[in-house]
Structure 1
């Protein structure tokens, strides 16, 4: 036998020793046989070994125990079996194994203490995959988060088997592969790690964990920590939602809309689809007059109505401000247009906030995805161009995108870019005569800006001024125009040709609040008397911010500058509000002239006469625009208008040409009305 074996008689004397016992005890059998074990080995007196031996003799039952023999300072495993002639003793040296176990147990106790200090549920898994130890957080997590009967695993249980009760098949397969890669292979602690994010079903909903497994020693033990990251996951999900959605309405925002549109365009076998851009008309006025709190409430109501009106599967998004977009799946141009007209019905009924009822309308641009369109930004740009066309055509309209709109958009971009660059140096001014109707003499001129484009030639104002208005470049243009026209008028006056100068001013100038300063600087630098300058404003521009307009115009009027309302009859401003301004002149738009011709019977000047009578009562002079025929001239004279301008009386012309033209009119008597009616006598002014 490999184990040491010896026999003792009832008096405790050696009766037999095998060779292994001789080697283990370091004595030959001849030295020990017949000798008392207590005498041969005094260290056994009163020891555990002697005690166990006596108990075996006493009750006749075998004993097995570990015994530390101090002279050798080693551990032995001892087994004693009763015998009719005494007892048989088998023993083996287990010192190495015992010390290894003690070291392992000490390490395990240390690791367990560390695990217990960790706040996250943590287990120590042995090389065989069984749970060696688990901290209190591991047990509590099972009690607090999950059904106690299903999770977590307990010490002695196979860890991966226990985790089948808390994980889905895919996550468990990943966990199994990761943990087994750590348990096997290496013979030392190499710091290898494995991590996994997973979720489990808890009593109140999904619970999210971040699992981190690390091999910690050469024995192959692995520490696995399960950190509850539910709050972080929910916070992250909330943040992601907020990043993709509009705070005010809860609708998808621009970024999310582009994602959804890109997915729709990239879908295999996609059918037609469209973007409908919805821009509320005049919403800035609502914000300015009623306040942003009511404006925000109205925007939420618009979002709600649009969401109720769209088709199942379509999406409403808010780009920002007062712009919304509908992503419509699987519709062609006619279906998209039909949807746009249906969405307009959302605005039929007024919107309410408290006791305030607010009517709203919207301009809608529709862009249908063509087969060659694969970029979401491209399609959104098409919808924006169509919306701009709808807005420009009179608001409360629906407009379908066409390639020509893209060219128009490129032109607007070029204009905006050039106006910020050197385009202002390419601007020129043409002047159209303003004529007195009582004696036909030229009283003044209206300054009309043109752009001498290096490639396109001379451009009319309607090709670029609207872009300048949108971008704010209208202010530096007007500032330049004031300096140029007042300088020119001062030169003409010094040359014996005093002409009152009329200059158009944008509502943007009121918002910037630099109009008063810009006018004063221009007059001071040119030396032109203030009463020789007329500022013309459209009634629509005044109506956008009447209080600010009134304040600044009043300052200018006290300074001596005259004020005229241009295009009267094309806006919807209140007359009481309009005439509360310091107006000196009212310019009657040509559309009223044409309307008077259509509706009047017999006395064709009746409509105009009513308007002129109102202005005269208020002490305001009237100017009739768009005089193109002798009949127009006769009509406005009969109505009592003070002044007139139009192609019959003179076309817009450059400054140098105007000087010659005025001199020629003066040489022919100075009555431009008579010359115009007679025909051929007025010099060409084109």
Structure 2
């Protein structure tokens, strides 16, 4: 058992009850007291130490921080605590030095294990900090209490920028959430606080998942976006957080989203976005909304004649002009091509109609594109949401139907939707579907005779297309051809019609009834540029001579693309096919423009014939004669359409018309009835005009 040396009786020494190693050093630097715990820690007996110089007993302490602390405490520097390494034992100790009147009292503790753990922790932290510094994004390491243990260089650099933007920043030792919270939006602050709280709290599976949240910071005039990614580091319970700048990615996504909802050409909302806006406006049952469907008139002609570059500029200007005309809170967008849509919120039918007329008036001033002044007009359909109607597509369909009716009524019109238009739209859909599914097999041709005015002889027939609908009966072309044109079925139908009519004409000729066959051709055939080929094939397959075929074209169809029409008509005329201008007097092209084409026949529309009859009653009956005289001078035959009365027939005779057709002379009839009618004409002397007049007088 070791001997302990101490001052005074043992019962008076309170240090005996202290479990730590304690020794005293007198004012001369000699051990004055060493307790048992100190003997064990120092590895020396008290009797070998007491009375001897402490630095002589442990010379390795000379010149160390321990000696410095001894001297500082003895010099009146107050209590001192020092950790020091003792080389002979290669261990770390902690000495707490307390000065007193009789010297120094030292509490000594072996802290080697703690120190080495701390060193390892610090080394691990340094290594982790080095790893964090290598990361390309601002990164911090939090302790279990949410304070920043370490931050990489990127974080420090980013903090400078954040401070310049007026936000508080966080450094080592700061509470991360407390520093970040003021700059975050409430929803971001709540989500990040909850997410990091779960990671810090630990629990089953927490270490296997990360917390990710995208948040925004206002940086001056701009908003920057970051992705916070946090994960728990086991077993320390620390949390590492990286902040990736995703601003460009978010802006790219916003750009893509904007492009997906807007028209590339005009920048206006597109069809998808418009339907979304309409749907939102219909969600409130008390809200009123109207749609205005605006379709530019004759814009294809503008595109074809002036070029698509000018056309695109005009569309941009139309969009801009419409945007300036609508009311606050309304929306205007482009559906595509030359169609625009206006959503009028909180608007009844009368207000929507007033808006439509105001928009229509805005087209009174011409548009200027590349130095060219271009007049434009628009047909506008108006549909107002009905109570209980919550389908955006249905309201759009109604507005479309109204615009279709406005277009059909002529240029520059406004039409309000009515339930009957919805039925008409359904009919157009049915027609489109049936034509696509093979309704061409239900098409039939009726033929109306064309006769010579001077002799009454039968010159030919005009082929008139009909649809023998299985439920609706015999339908005129007005009920289905416009739909066929819209759906791309018109050219196949016309191709079939050319084949059917030339075959029929060749069959009649073989029976001794040589008739000239007139077939109507649309402007769409010019655009497709297959007309010449289709006519050649029909003539070849049927064996009908080319001079027995007459192609009838309306003057408006020729006017849509006169150059392309002239080129193809010249080729057709070159191999013998005759060309006739149909419905002359209903279009808006000039007579000079028409007569410049390689045409052989001019068909005078019944409306012009009726007008001429009214003028004749006023003593100006020479109008019709003047037109006929001009055509004869140019070597063009004239055909008067719509001859329905004896007065009409007398008028066209007086005017000198070459040919005539109309209900007075003969109604359209199936192919099987044409030969019977021609036989009756021959039996009556061959003069169909005289036969018709006799029949009319009875």
Report the counterpart of residue 452 of structure 2 in structure 1.
Answer: 436
Contact 2:207 2:231 in 1 (8 A): no
Which of 497, 506, 509 in structure 2 is aligned with 1:493?
A: 509
Which of 31, 34, 41 in structure 2 is aligned with 1:17?
A: 34
Offset at residue 23 of structure 1 (A) = 4.2
Taking a change above 3 Å as real, the CA distance of residues 187 and 16 of structure 1, as seen in their structure-2 partners, is farther
Which of 594, 602, 606 in structure 2 is aligned with 1:590?
A: 606
Offset at residue 268 of structure 1 (A) = 5.3
- Is 2:289 the partner of 1:276? no
75-84 vs 157-166, greater mean Cα deviation = 75-84
Mapped partners of 2:204, 2:543: distance in 1: 98
Offset at residue 234 of structure 1 (A) = 2.9
Offset at residue 187 of structure 1 (A) = 10
Mapped partners of 1:24, 1:588: distance in 2: 130
Provide the secondary structure at the position in 1 that maps to 2:141: strand
Taking a change above 3 Å as real, the CA distance of residues 357 and 441 of structure 1, as seen in their structure-2 partners, is same
Report the counterpart of residue 575 of structure 1 in structure 2.
Answer: 591
Report the counterpart of residue 405 of structure 2 in structure 1.
Answer: 389
Report the count of equivalent residues: 680
Report the counterpart of residue 8 of structure 2 in structure 1.
Answer: none
- Is 2:236 the partner of 1:219? yes
Offset at residue 560 of structure 1 (A) = 0.7
Mapped partners of 1:50, 1:154: distance in 2: 34
Mapped partners of 2:222, 2:568: distance in 1: 63
Mapped partners of 1:16, 1:220: distance in 2: 45
Report the counterpart of residue 123 of structure 2 in structure 1.
Answer: 106
Mapped partners of 1:522, 1:149: distance in 2: 82
Report the counterpart of residue 335 of structure 1 in structure 2.
Answer: 351
Mapped partners of 1:384, 1:254: distance in 2: 13
- Is 2:158 the partner of 1:141? yes
Offset at residue 547 of structure 1 (A) = 0.9
Unaligned runs of 5+ in 2: 1-17
Mapped partners of 1:149, 1:255: distance in 2: 41
Contact 1:194 1:214 in 2 (8 A): yes
Q: Which residues in structure 2 correspond to 1:316-335 (within 5 Å)?
A: 316-335=332-351
For each residue in 1:203-238, what CA deviation from the matched residue of structure 2 results, as whole angstroms up to 9, or x when unmatched?
A: 333333222222224332222222333333333323
Which of 75, 78, 82 in structure 1 is aligned with 2:92?
A: 75
Provide the secondary structure at the position in 2 that maps to 1:258: helix
Mapped partners of 2:641, 2:165: distance in 1: 90
For each residue in 1:259-302, what CA deviation from the matched residue of structure 2 results, as whole angstroms up to 9, or x when unmatched?
A: 111110013532x2100011110011111111122222222222
Provide the secondary structure at the position in 2 that maps to 1:164: helix
Contact 2:291 2:383 in 1 (8 A): yes
Mapped partners of 2:98, 2:372: distance in 1: 105
Report the counterpart of residue 471 of structure 1 in structure 2.
Answer: 487
Report the counterpart of residue 315 of structure 1 in structure 2.
Answer: 331
Q: Which residues in structure 2 correspond to 1:371-386 (within 5 Å)?
A: 371-386=387-402
Taking a change above 3 Å as real, the CA distance of residues 525 and 187 of structure 1, as seen in their structure-2 partners, is closer
Provide the secondary structure at the position in 1 that maps to 2:535: helix
- Is 2:146 the partner of 1:129? yes
Taking a change above 3 Å as real, the CA distance of residues 169 and 550 of structure 1, as seen in their structure-2 partners, is closer
RMSD of aligned alpha carbons: 2.5
Offset at residue 321 of structure 1 (A) = 1.5
Report the counterpart of residue 263 of structure 2 in structure 1.
Answer: 246
For each residue in 1:491-511, what CA deviation from the matched residue of structure 2 results, as whole angstroms up to 9, or x when unmatched?
A: 111111111111111111111
Contact 1:126 1:132 in 2 (8 A): yes
- Is 2:639 the partner of 1:646? no
For each residue in 1:477-535, what CA deviation from the matched residue of structure 2 results, as whole angstroms up to 9, or x when unmatched?
A: 11111111111111111111111111111111111111111111111111111111111
Provide the secondary structure at the position in 2 that maps to 1:102: helix
125-134 vs 82-91, greater mean Cα deviation = 82-91
Mapped partners of 1:187, 1:79: distance in 2: 43
Which of 547, 555, 561 in structure 2 is aligned with 1:531?
A: 547
Mapped partners of 1:96, 1:337: distance in 2: 90
Q: Which residues in structure 2 correspond to 1:583-622 (within 5 Å)?
A: 583-601=599-617, 605-622=621-638
Report the counterpart of residue 174 of structure 1 in structure 2.
Answer: 191
Offset at residue 655 of structure 1 (A) = 1.1
For each residue in 1:80-139, what CA deviation from the matched residue of structure 2 results, as whole angstroms up to 9, or x when unmatched?
A: 345565543311121222122112211221222222233332222222222222223323
Contact 1:56 1:82 in 2 (8 A): no
Report the counterpart of residue 204 of structure 1 in structure 2.
Answer: 221
Which of 234, 245, 251 in structure 2 is aligned with 1:234?
A: 251
Contact 2:453 2:658 in 1 (8 A): yes
Offset at residue 680 of structure 1 (A) = 6.3
**TM-score in terms of structure 1 length:** 0.93
Taking a change above 3 Å as real, the CA distance of residues 36 and 357 of structure 1, as seen in their structure-2 partners, is closer
Report the counterpart of residue 556 of structure 1 in structure 2.
Answer: 572
Taking a change above 3 Å as real, the CA distance of residues 176 and 641 of structure 1, as seen in their structure-2 partners, is same
Provide the secondary structure at the position in 2 that maps to 1:347: coil
Mapped partners of 1:434, 1:186: distance in 2: 97
Mapped partners of 1:158, 1:133: distance in 2: 12
Mapped partners of 2:592, 2:107: distance in 1: 123
Q: Which residues in structure 2 correspond to 1:400-549 (within 5 Å)?
A: 400-549=416-565
- Is 2:441 the partner of 1:398? no
Taking a change above 3 Å as real, the CA distance of residues 85 and 285 of structure 1, as seen in their structure-2 partners, is same
Offset at residue 147 of structure 1 (A) = 3.1
Offset at residue 602 of structure 1 (A) = 5.5
Contact 1:43 1:71 in 2 (8 A): no
Q: Which residues in structure 2 correspond to 1:152-191 (within 5 Å)?
A: 152-186=169-203, 190-191=207-208
Provide the secondary structure at the position in 2 that maps to 1:360: coil
For each residue in 1:404-440, what CA deviation from the matched residue of structure 2 results, as whole angstroms up to 9, or x when unmatched?
A: 1111111111111221222111111111111111111
507-516 vs 295-304, greater mean Cα deviation = 295-304
223-232 vs 405-414, greater mean Cα deviation = 223-232
Provide the secondary structure at the position in 2 that maps to 1:571: coil
Offset at residue 681 of structure 1 (A) = 9.7
Contact 2:73 2:80 in 1 (8 A): no
Report the counterpart of residue 380 of structure 2 in structure 1.
Answer: 364
Mapped partners of 1:86, 1:580: distance in 2: 131
Report the counterpart of residue 11 of structure 2 in structure 1.
Answer: none
Provide the secondary structure at the position in 1 that maps to 2:617: coil
Contact 2:380 2:403 in 1 (8 A): yes
Mapped partners of 1:404, 1:512: distance in 2: 34
